[in-house]
């Protein structure tokens, strides 16, 4: 998995191993190898593996995800070249890239397709490899509790190259010299790391609300047993069960600030009003929601032919036909795909809500109907609580229309959207779900019954 560079002599300086536990179950592992090179650069290789069991009703699915990040850094720790390989239950995505001036350039390989992507490097947060970012925490910028320092690193999310910024705040310098640091990124809730005097990770704890991951040093490779994830763990339900009303209200506390207003939901302090039928909320540019992207492969001839076979109908009727076609095309309910693209879902004919939503987004866009994948939670009566979910909104005849091909028959008033992906303005469905997780961590969603009777949906 070496980067395609001219041969450079190097030697292994150190190698570290970690084991991650969730509810005392061995669910994650990580190894970090640091190579010093004779030209003054160094190469860092970090390999992470996560094993989970996802529960849905009587079904249990084994989810195995691995990622290897390889960075070549100059003497200052700045990234020169990189490679990222992801494997989600056998679905592999790779990025091979480099830094040129103020731009990150990479070739992304997935599903037998390649795509060159370019991302501008923002000012103010140096682009560092994993080890260099940790060593930054030892520098003069962090001398007393409360001091902060920023950095960023290349990431691959939903087949899309991005730059992940992070801010580190010094919490405490331990008597043994280890530093306790609070890390903030856009993909995770704030989490604590313990860094030793060499800049190596000693321990890390990430609390996602529905699970708490503790990563700590290990003597070597360790076999994983996996950890179970319950479908209703993302957010707790408070108050009575919500009604299938044309309009509902929910109280979310501080998490309400992360709820975006749209045609279906409106925020007023900690209170969110959600409607089954959208009100006027015209997008600034509907063309944004017709674009191709890493998760929406609109140019695939087989996919385009499949959409064309739906026929020529008015947009509202065609959208419903395509929703039903997606629902019947994905013949196997598969909880293990994690974050499959539209083309992957179309070819494999399997997936969960994410794959349903991505395939429907692509189908609608091919048909000329602006659409986006929505990410958030839905109140599922089958499970008696809120479940993480992905669905669709389509811009039809001057209004946003709600569509759900994976879990239909629930009024939009029982959904809460935390993020969307158009593949033009987010990190894809994985990034959007990360934003939802950050917002929902340890949140209770309380249904607020109406003071007067409201119509219910049958």
User: What pLDDT does residue 70 have?
Assistant: 97
Q: What is the 3-state secondary structure (H, E, C) of the chain?
A: CCCCCCCCCEEEEEEEEEEEEECCEEEEEEEEEEEEECCCCEEEEEEEEEEEEEEECCEEEEEEEEEEEEEEECCCCEEEEEEEEEEECCEEEEEEEEEECCEEEEEEEECCEEEEEEEECCCCCCEECHHHHHHHHHCCCCCCCCCEEEEEEEEEECCEEEEEEEEEEEEEECCCCCEEEEEEECCCCCEEEEECCCCCEEEEEEECCCCEEEEEEECCCCCCCCEEECHHHCEEEECCCCCCECEEEEECHHHHHHCCCCCCEEEECCEEEEECCCCCCCCCCHHHHHCCECCECCCCHHHHHHHHCCCCCCHHHHHHHHHHHHHHHCCEECCCCCCCCHHHHHHHCEECHHHHHHHHHHHHHHCCCCEEEEEEEEEECCCCEEEEEEEEEEEECCEEEEECCCCCCCCHHHEEEEEEECCCCCCHHHHHHHHHHHHHCCCEEEECCCCCCCCECC
Whether the predicted pLDDT of 231 surpasses 90: no
Burial label, 320 (beta-carbon count in 10 A; 0-12, 13-18, 19+): middle
Whether the predicted pLDDT of 349 surpasses 70: yes
pLDDT band at 442 (very low <50, low <70, confident <90, very high): low
* Tens-digit pLDDT profile for residues 291-346: 998 889 999 999 999 999 999 999 999 999 999 999 999 988 766 666 789 999 99
**Position with higher pLDDT, 211 vs 326:** 326
User: What pLDDT does residue 157 have?
Assistant: 85
Whether the predicted pLDDT of 3 surpasses 70: no
Whether the predicted pLDDT of 458 surpasses 70: no
Q: How far is CA 382 from the centre of its chain?
A: 25
User: What pLDDT does residue 419 have?
Assistant: 85
The CATH architecture that domain 234-447 belongs to is: Roll (3.10)
Q: Where are the domains of the chain?
A: 10-229, 234-447
**Position with higher pLDDT, 451 vs 64:** 64
User: What pLDDT does residue 228 have?
Assistant: 80
- Report the 10 Å Cβ neighbour count for 397: 8
User: What pLDDT does residue 211 have?
Assistant: 75
* Tens-digit pLDDT profile for residues 369-380: 999 999 889 998
Q: What is the pTM of this model?
A: 0.85
User: What pLDDT does residue 53 have?
Assistant: 79
Please give the mean pLDDT across all residues of the chain. 88
User: What pLDDT does residue 425 have?
Assistant: 57
% of the chain exceeding 90 in pLDDT: 61
* Tens-digit pLDDT profile for residues 379-401: 988 778 888 899 999 999 999 99
**Position with higher pLDDT, 381 vs 435:** 381
**Residue linked to tokens 């890493």:** 294
Whether the predicted pLDDT of 209 surpasses 90: no
């Amino acid at each position: 998995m070496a980067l395609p560079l001219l041969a450079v002599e190097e030697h292994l300086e150190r190698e570290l191993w970690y084991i991650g536990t969730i509810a005392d179950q061995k669910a994650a592992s990580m190894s970090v190898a640091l190579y010093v090179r004779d030209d003054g650069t160094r190469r860092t290789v970090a390999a992470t593996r996560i094993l989970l069991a996802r529960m849905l009703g009587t079904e249990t699915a084994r989810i195995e995800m691995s990622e290897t990040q390889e960075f070549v850094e100059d003497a200052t720790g700045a990234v020169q070249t990189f490679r990222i390989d992801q494997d989600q239950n056998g679905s592999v995505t790779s990025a091979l890239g480099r830094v040129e001036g103020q731009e990150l350039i990479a070739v992304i390989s997935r599903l037998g397709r390649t795509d060159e992507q370019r991302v501008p490097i923002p000012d103010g947060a140096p682009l560092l490899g994993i080890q260099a970012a940790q060593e930054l925490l030892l520098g003069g910028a962090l001398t007393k509790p409360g001091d902060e320092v920023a950095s960023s690193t290349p990431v691959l999310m939903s087949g899309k190259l991005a730059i992940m910024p992070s801010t580190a705040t010094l919490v405490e310098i331990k008597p043994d010299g280890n530093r306790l640091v609070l890390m903030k990124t856009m993909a995770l809730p704030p989490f604590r790391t313990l860094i030793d005097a060499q800049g190596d990770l000693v321990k890390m704890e990430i609390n996602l609300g529905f699970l708490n991951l503790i990563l700590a040093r290990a003597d070597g490779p360790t076999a994983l047993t996996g950890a179970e994830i319950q479908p209703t763990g993302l957010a707790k339900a408070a108050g009575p069960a919500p009604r299938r009303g044309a309009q509902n209200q929910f109280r979310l506390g501080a998490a309400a600030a992360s709820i975006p207003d749209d045609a279906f939901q409106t925020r007023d302090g900690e209170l969110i009003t959600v409607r089954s039928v959208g009100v006027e909320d015209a997008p600034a540019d509907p063309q944004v929601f017709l674009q191709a992207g890493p998760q929406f492969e609109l140019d695939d001839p087989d996919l385009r032919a499949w959409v064309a076979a739906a026929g020529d109908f008015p947009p509202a009727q065609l959208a419903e036909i395509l929703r039903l076609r997606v629902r019947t095309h994905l013949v196997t309910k598969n909880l293990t795909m994690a974050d499959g693209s539209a083309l992957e879902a179309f070819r494999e004919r399997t997936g969960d809500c994410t794959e349903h939503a991505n395939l429907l987004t692509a189908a609608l866009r091919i048909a000329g109907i602006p659409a986006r994948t929505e990410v958030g939670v839905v109140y599922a009566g089958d499970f008696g609580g809120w479940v993480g979910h992905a669905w669709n909104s389509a811009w039809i005849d001057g209004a946003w229309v709600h569509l759900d091909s994976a879990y239909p028959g629930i009024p939009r008033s029982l959904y809460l959207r935390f993020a969307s992906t158009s593949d033009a303005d987010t990190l894809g469905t994985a990034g959007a779900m990360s934003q939802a997780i950050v917002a929902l961590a340890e949140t209770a969603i309380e249904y607020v019954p109406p003071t007067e009777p409201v119509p219910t949906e049958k």
